Amino acid sequence: MIFFLLIAVVVIGYTVTIYNGLVRTRNELKLAWSNIDVLLVQRHDELPKLIEVCKRYMQHERETLERVTQARSQVDAARHSGDVPSVSAAEGALRSGLANLYAVAERYPELKADTMFRNLAARISALETAIADRREIYNDAANAQNVRIETFPDTIVAGMFNFSPARLLKFDASQTADVDVGLAFGK
């Protein structure tokens, strides 16, 4: 009897340890996503300022400005929905739009000389770098959770308590390819 009681205590203790580890990885994943979300909100708030500065100089570049504005809205909608693949796709469109905006800005010496434009562009570039860093941290956390969920005996506990795999932030080839800035200059 004592032997079976001891076995039950060990099994329950081991299950609790695994469960707590799974909760820890899930919360690390949520924290990593939250850190990305904070940066996305900051960039979301900075983009209208940049576009407004550009509007003063770029009367004939409405399409470029509209593309950035539309991509900004798509990122915000995807972020609010929590749909990781949609965020990835919208991020790619926004990065492409920003690259085109900066390339087109080269045609406007007064705009390039504008202190507010330079400061906003630098701030957004810094946010882009931070978002890329946080994406890596998020993917590491997602991978850690997925490994735990898929390995034995954690997979048993994960199944019992409905732990689901996390989706990695992935980008297709068109989103990671270099932007041809020559096209923006009409070359």
Say what the pTM is: 0.72
Per-residue pLDDT of the chain (187 residues; tens, 9 = 90+): 889 999 999 999 999 999 999 999 999 999 999 999 899 889 888 888 888 888 777 766 777 888 888 888 888 888 888 777 788 888 888 888 888 888 888 888 888 788 888 888 889 889 988 988 999 999 999 999 999 999 999 999 999 999 999 988 876 554 444 444 344 334 4
Q: Annotate 149-186 with DSSP letters as a single string.
A: HHSTTHHHHHHHTT--PPPP----HHHHSPP-HHHHTT
Q: Which residues contact 8 (CB under 8 A, 6 or more apart)?
A: none
Q: Are 78 and 115 in contact (CB under 8 A)?
A: no
**What residues does each domain of the chain span?**
2-165
Q: In whole angstroms, give the CA distance from residue 36 to residue 87.
A: 11
* The CATH number of the domain covering residues in 2-165: 1.20.1440.20
> Whose CA is closest to 184, among 56, 81, 96, 72?
96
